[in-house]
Amino acid sequence: MLKVENLTVYYGKALAVKDVTIEIKKGEICAVIGSNGAGKTTILNAIAGVIGKDGKVVFENRDITNLDTHEIANLGIAYLPDGKTVFKELTVFDNLRVAYYKKLKTGGEVGFQQKLSGIFEHFTNLKEKIKLKAGFLSGGEQQMLSIAQSLIREPKLVILDEPSAGLSPKLVKDLFNIITFMKKNRLTVLIVEQNVNKTIKVADKVYFLKNGKIVDFGKAEDFRDDRVIKKAYFGG
Ligand SMILES: Nc1ncnc2c1ncn2[C@@H]1O[C@H](COP(=O)(O)OP(=O)(O)OP(=O)(O)O)[C@@H](O)[C@H]1O
Ligand SMILES: [Mg+2]
C-alpha cells in the first residue's frame, strides 16, 4: 500500500534521515521506533508532504513524492502530527460532524450515525462529553478527539506521531484498544511511539531508526522479547 524508497532529508546542511526504505502492506500496523532526534517525525512529515525530500514515496501504486499535503490527504492518508486539529469553539459532536462532512454525500446521515456509534464504543470519554466544547476537554482528550476525527473520515492509511504522548494511563489504555480496533478493521497504520512494548505488541512490523538510518527491522513478533528490543533500540 505504501512504499518509501531511499528517503533522505536534510535540514540545511544537516542530514536528518538517510536512505530510509519502508514498506507497509494493506491492513498492517507498522511501527517506527527510535530515540529522540532519530528522525521519526521527519520521516512522517516527508511522507505526508510537509517537507521536501529525496527518494520516492508510492501510495497504492501512485507516485506521491511531489504532491502537496492536501492532495496527499485527499488520497486517504490521515496524518496526525499532534492533538491540535480540533475546533475548540465547537462541541465534541460538531467536531466529529465537521470531520465527516465530505463523507456525508456518500454515507449520508445513516452512515454518520453508524460511524459515530462505532467511534463511541472505543472513545468512551468522548461519548460522555459529546455536548461539551472541545476547548474544555483536557489535552489528552483533545488528542483522542483528533484521532476520532481522522477515523470518522474513513482513511486508508493513518499516520500517528507519538499518539500516547501526554495521555493519562487510562487514555493510553484506550488508545491501544483503539489501535487494536483499527487492526481488526484492516486499517493500515504507520505509528511512531515511545511506548515501545505496547506498540510492538499491536504492531505487525517494526523498524528501528538510529541517527536517521534504519538499523534493524522485521516482524514485530520477533522483537517482543525485551532483550531484543534493548539490543536493537539502544544498541546494547
Ligand atoms: N525544522 C528543522 N530544522 C532543522 N533541524 C531539524 C528540524 N526538524 C528536525 N530537525 C533535526 O532533525 C533530527 C531529527 O528530528 P525528528 O524530529 O525527526 O526526530 P524524532 O525522531 O521525531 O525525535 P523525537 O522523538 O524527539 O520526536 C534532529 O536532530 C532534529 O534536531
Ligand atoms: Mg518526533
Give pLDDT tens digits for 116-148. Answer: 998 898 888 899 999 999 999 988 899 899 999
According to the model, what pLDDT value does residue 185 have?
Answer: 86
26 within a domain of the structure (yes/no) = yes
Measured CA to CA, the distance from residue 155 to residue 177 in angstroms comes to 18
Measured CA to CA, the distance from residue 164 to residue 219 in angstroms comes to 22
Question: Are 86 and 149 contained in the same domain?
Answer: yes
The residue from 103, 136, 154 where one domain ends is 154
What is the average pLDDT across 74-97?
87
Question: Are 82 and 144 contained in the same domain?
Answer: yes
Question: Are 134 and 103 contained in the same domain?
Answer: yes
Nearest atom within ligand 1 for CA of residue 39: 18
According to the model, what pLDDT value does residue 236 have?
Answer: 47
222 within a domain of the structure (yes/no) = yes
Measured CA to CA, the distance from residue 122 to residue 119 in angstroms comes to 6
According to the model, what pLDDT value does residue 233 have?
Answer: 63
Region of poorest pLDDT, from 13-27, 36-50, 214-228: 214-228
Count of domains observed in the chain: 2
109 within a domain of the structure (yes/no) = yes
167 within a domain of the structure (yes/no) = no
Overall size of the chain counted in residues: 236
User: Per residue in 101-115, pLDDT tens?
Assistant: 888 888 899 999 999
Domain holding 56, by residue range, is 1-75+187-236
Mutate to test the pocket of ligand 1, among 13, 18, 32, 40 (most ligand atoms within 8 A of CB): 40
Kindly state the helix (H) or strand (E) to which residue 3 belongs, with its residue range: strand 2-11
Q: Are 1 and 24 in contact (CB under 8 A)?
A: yes
Q: Are 154 and 142 in contact (CB under 8 A)?
A: no
From the CB of 41, is ligand 1 less than 6 Å away? yes
- With vertex at residue 209, the alpha carbon angle to CA 235 and CA 17, rounded to the nearest 5 degrees, is 130
What is the average pLDDT across 40-48?
97
Q: Are 57 and 63 in contact (CB under 8 A)?
A: yes
161 within a domain of the structure (yes/no) = no
Mean pLDDT taken over the chain:
91
According to the model, what pLDDT value does residue 105 have?
Answer: 86
Kindly state the helix (H) or strand (E) to which residue 203 belongs, with its residue range: none
From the CB of 163, is ligand 1 less than 6 Å away? no
Could you tell me the pLDDT band of residue 231, with boundaries at 50, 70 and 90?
Answer: low
User: Per residue in 151-198, pLDDT tens?
Assistant: 998 899 999 999 998 888 988 998 999 999 889 888 999 999 988 999
Q: Are 163 and 175 in contact (CB under 8 A)?
A: yes
Which pTM does this prediction carry? 0.92
Kindly state the helix (H) or strand (E) to which residue 18 belongs, with its residue range: strand 14-24
Straight-line distance from the first to the last Cα atom of the chain, in angstroms, rounded to the nearest whole number: 34
